[in-house]
Chains A and B, each alone.
Chain A
Amino acid sequence: MAEFRTRLKELRAARNMKQEELAELVGVRRETIIRLEKGLYNPSLKLAVDIARVFGCTVEEVFIFDYDE
């Protein structure tokens, strides 16, 4: 079982970026960013890559899956 969490809010805060701005950059609505930040939504690979590119990180640095050993 893997627990899904994101560092989206933290990365966004570090760049002083609003949810709306991030949404605009990756071509989604603010509601999608809200759900992503809360870890309630698994993004498509394309969206994950787009978001990672905005922050200049890898996908694994933004979206984290904690696996129970």
Chain B
Amino acid sequence: MTSNEKMQKLAQRYHNKSLSRAERREAYKALELERYRADKRKPISLRLYTFFWSVVELVLGVFWLLSGVGIKITLPTSFDDIIGEYIWVPTFSIAIICVILNLNYKKPLKDELSSQNMAKANLAGFIIGLAVLWIARIAYFMFSGNNTLVLSDIASERLLLGLFAFIRSIIGFVFIILDFKDTLSGADDDCVEAE
């Protein structure tokens, strides 16, 4: 049976109305696995893929947060002006890099262990992300002294987007740490010597 026929069969099974939720989930996983195997693009490890997206989200998150808060620094050139004016530069470059990456590499599959690690990372990343933001807020009020930094208008949509991207990036980094631990612990455990 060719890969295409296999995928058609799996897709038919997935769309079967009489399937239970668990059966549908299994059918979907099987379909995804078959699609992954049939994909001709180069594979990329889940860790590298997550790392790339975490860096992207960190850069975007920080930029959007800063521009959303609209911090004015009383210097000859306002920091806010620079961020506001040039925010499209990182956003646009990252968008191009993302397109190139997605054209060349297939999205890695998530298995049950990575889903479990991702669930742990979601909780830890959310708490760590919020803690970092709170520390930044406290540091800002402690050291700004209202003389050098003034909060101007707050753009809620940028703030929300920035917060979302920032927390997602932290989640990604926590996932990488959890995942990396597994590989390190079994790196020399392969029974068969590499050729």
Point out residues on A near B: beta carbons under 8 Å.
9, 12-13, 16-20, 27-32, 34-35, 37-38, 41, 43-44, 46-47
Contact = CB atoms under 8 A, between A and B. Distances in A.
B112 A38 contact: no
B182 A31 contact: yes
* SS of B interface (majority): helix
A23 to B, nearest CB: 8
Interface string B83-116: 0000000000000000000000000010111100
B33 to A, nearest CB: 5
Contacts of A34: 182-183, 185-186, 189
Contact of B112 (A13, A20, A30, A44): A44
Interface of B: 26, 29, 33, 46, 109, 111-114, 179, 182-183, 185-186, 189-192
Contacts of A27: 29, 33, 109, 111
Contacts of B179: 31
22 contacts: A9-B189, A13-B191, A16-B191, A17-B191, A17-B192, A18-B192, A27-B29, A27-B33, A27-B109, A27-B111, A28-B111, A29-B46, A30-B183, A31-B179, A31-B183, A31-B186, A32-B112, A32-B113, A34-B183, A34-B185, A34-B189, A41-B113
A37 B183 CA distance: 12
Nearest to B182: A31
A31 B26 contact: no
A11 to B, nearest CB: 10
A29 B191 contact: no
A13 B191 CA distance: 6
Contacts of B111: 27-29, 32
A43 B112 contact: yes
Contacts of A17: 191-192
